[in-house]
Amino acid sequence: MKEQKFQIEIGKRNLKVEIKNLAEQASGSCLVRYGDTVVLATVVMSDIEKEEVDFLPLTVDYEERYYAAGKILGSRYIRRESRPSDEAILTSRLIDRAIRPRFPKHLKRETQVVVTCLSWDRENDPDMIGLIASSIAILISNIPWSGPIAPLRIGRINGEFLLNPTYPEREKGDLELAISGVQKNGDILINMIEAEGQEISESEVLDAVNHAKPHLIKLINFQEQIAKKVGKEKIRLPEPPSNPELENEIKKFLGERLEKALFQQTKENRAMETKDLEEELLAFVEEKYLDSPVSKEKSLYAKDFFQKEIERVIHQNIILKEKRPDGRKMEEIREIYCEAGLLPRTHGSGLFCRGQTKALSILTLGAPGDVRLLEGMEIIGKKRFMHHYNFPPYSVGEVKPIRGPGRREIGHGMLVERALLPVIPSLDQFPYTMRIVSEILSSNGSTSMASASSSSLALMDAGVPIKAPVAGIALGLMVEEDNYKILTDIQGPEDHYGDMDLKVAGTEKGITAIQMDVKVQGIPEKTLQEGLVRAKKARFQILAEMKKVLPGSRSKLSPFAPRILTLQINPDKIREVIGPGGKVINEITEECGVSIDIEDTGKIFVTSDSEEAAKKAISWIKNITREVKVGEVFQGKVKRILSFGAMVEIFPGQEGLIHISQLAPWRVKKVEDVVNVGDVVQVKVVSIDEQGRVNLSLKEAKTKYARKKQR
């Protein structure tokens, strides 16, 4: 293929697309450049049909490369990339959620999208560039896909919206929204949103969406022009098999039993009756076609059609009758139960239950030095607030090996972390490092939003002065042609067979985080607006229940939490606190049983399980760093005897010289005639030279000791 180049201006910078034979054996590929950030997106579809899979076999991998940022990182002994960073996993999930709904549901071939960051300019985030590159690569390939999709990031600084803000601009903003959409009848249908904000209103979110719309349309038209010039002819997938006769027999066999099995109060009964009914159906089909050469195909068809019938029954009951599987109304939240301070020795704990969804969050407070060190292609820094999410197999009644956190756990953990971050106090207000772990004890819908609520309770239980408690809610959507219903607090089948998952977290003042993905082509702005209004109402209900248990942060920290004392010193004195080779600071930490963290500004944090030990260390540091003034009198200890005088420690880390002429008001021939090592004497500061050396006098202190020696 002859190399072709395209470009469009987005956010005052040019987005450049190059179609060339770099990955010529891939089904589709493109190179996209924005600023000096460059990504390569490729897509490959297997030739083999996987008949038995009941899901879209799509994999998305975003690959960071250290060379893109001009770095050599990794283990000291393995200087190369290993497992994906959390940031890479989050980008993979973001791309996946945006492109997945556009693939045909009956696609059974394994498909893999690989996005590799080849160059990073430290200003432009590769995630949105990777998403548009993925869209173009799939669009110009021969893979069936109803694209394109257009992604953008919207930021807001001082009330003004920015397109694809740079990293420095994002740090100044109070709202950030990543959005992707598709075009329909000249308007945009939204198919993915990730947003975070400083307690923003619903109308502000919609303003950001509206600001993005014309630019999304512009990007879609741009991609369509590329596809017209270089796009391959799409493979025609065989139509999914159709067997009206078998379908009618299945419907007749199921009758009203399927609806009865699905519409149960508890998850266990629903799952058990549905499973029993499916087994009966498959046994019926196998017996009916026992001697048929296509009996296996009939069984697979029956299994697939059974799932379609479940989806149809749930959709129709909700849309036409407003009947939910557990009998709730459209806006009804399941029963809520909250508890704080469950665990006696942890620093803070909170339990949040919504129906059969139960999340237990535990907070640990640590020293400033306990921060997580971040080192990757995009990020080198520190993180003082962390939220980790665990989803053990017992939470859904399953038996599975327990390994490290997967993509889902990392994604859910980060969503809750983003939701809580706007209410976390600054380092100056609260110098602790904070780590929350949310254990999902039981799962039946929206465990991430339950974790946001339980984590808020844990923070307040620990006495962390958060701005306000955060609560979260998940909403769903059922669509049937032009009819739709929005569901508050979705659970099990509503989530699995529904068409949207909209998670909204925030305080009474406003929204702190949003995550939305869909299974349909996309949703109009009007539907999003309705969902946000519903979410606000539900959030207020949940916050009211949480406040019944804990109205605000406790006034005192847990007695088992470490105590942190702070001290500001002259930055020039830092080296004196540390000492040669760390001698002084190590002596303080070992003798007092504390940990010490020092900032370049001269701010010192002393952390200890004992407040008395921390005070002792602070006193020690004050003595080391205090400014000695001429005329001050100290009680010092003789440390060394020299031929011309004695060295006296006037406070830890600070010594001064008593010259032999300053020992007594008479002529001293030998220093030991007046003082010896270990003597405690009162001395006066008589001068400080240009190098900061302190000169002391014993005779000018007018001590009884000196007079006694005179006699």
The pairing of strands 37-49 and 28-34 is antiparallel
Q: How far is residue 384 from each of residues 6, 85, 438, 601, measured CA to CA in Å? A: 43, 18, 17, 18
What is the percent of the chain where pLDDT is above 90? 77
Q: CA-CA distance, 112 to 96, in Å (whole number)?
A: 10
What structural domains does the chain harbor? 4-230 (3.30.230.70), 244-321 (1.10.10), 336-549 (3.30.230.70), 563-625 (3.30.1370.10), 633-710 (2.40.50.140)
Place of tokens 């303080």: 588
- At 711, the pLDDT band (50, 70, 90 cuts) reads very low
Q: In the numeric block, which tokens belong to residue 618?
A: 């602070």
Q: DSSP assignment, residue 523?
A: B
Q: How confident is the model at residue 705 (pLDDT cuts 50, 70, 90)?
A: low
Residue 678 has pLDDT above 70, yes or no: yes
What pLDDT score does 545 carry? 98
The residue among 200, 14, 35 whose CA lies nearest residue 126 is 35
DSSP assignment of 11-38 equals TTEEEEEEE-TTSTTSSEEEEEEETTEE
* Three-class secondary structure of residue 492 per DSSP: helix
| Average pLDDT value for the chain | 93
Here the tokens at position 346 are: 């942890």
- Residue 74 to residues 85, 141, 630, Cα–Cα distance (Å): 11, 35, 54
Q: What is the predicted pLDDT for the residue at 383? A: 94
The three-state (H, E, C) secondary structure of 667-700, written as one string: CCCCHHHCCCCCCEEEEEEEEECCCCCEEEECCC
Phi-psi region of 386 (alpha: psi -120 to 50; beta: other; left: phi over 0): beta
- The model's pTM: 0.89
pLDDT band at 291 (very low <50, low <70, confident <90, very high): low
pLDDT digits (tens, 9 = 90+) for 333-344: 999 999 999 999
Q: Which residues of 650-661 are buried (b: 16+ CB within 10 A; e: fewer)?
A: bbbbbbbbbbbe
d(C-alpha 42, C-alpha 24), whole Å: 10
| Cis amide bond preceding 148, omega within 30 | yes
Number of C-beta neighbours around residue 248 at 10 A: 10
The phi and psi torsions of 35 (rounded to 5 degrees) equal: 65, -130
pLDDT score of 290 more than 80 = no
Average pLDDT value for residue range 271-296: 82
Listed in sequence order, the residues at least 6 apart from 276 whose beta carbon sits closer than 8 Å to its beta carbon are 261
Host H or E run for residue 412: helix 407-420
Mean pLDDT of 647-659: 87
pLDDT at residue 663 is higher than 70: yes
- How many whole angstroms from its chain centre is CA 147? 29
**Band of the pLDDT at 388, cuts 50, 70, 90?**
very high
Tell me, rounded to whole angstroms, the distance of Cα 484 from its chain centroid: 32
With a CB cutoff of 8 Å and minimum separation 6, the contacts of 224 are 148
User: Distance between CA atoms of 679 and 648, rounded to whole angstroms?
Assistant: 9
Question: To 10 degrees, what angle do helices 86-99 and 407-420 make?
Answer: 100
- pLDDT at res. 704: 57
Contact, 420 vs 470, CB < 8 A?
Answer: yes
Cα(474)–Cα(495) distance, rounded to whole angstroms? 9
- Cα(283)–Cα(306) distance, integer angstroms: 13
Per-residue model confidence (pLDDT) at position 172 = 94
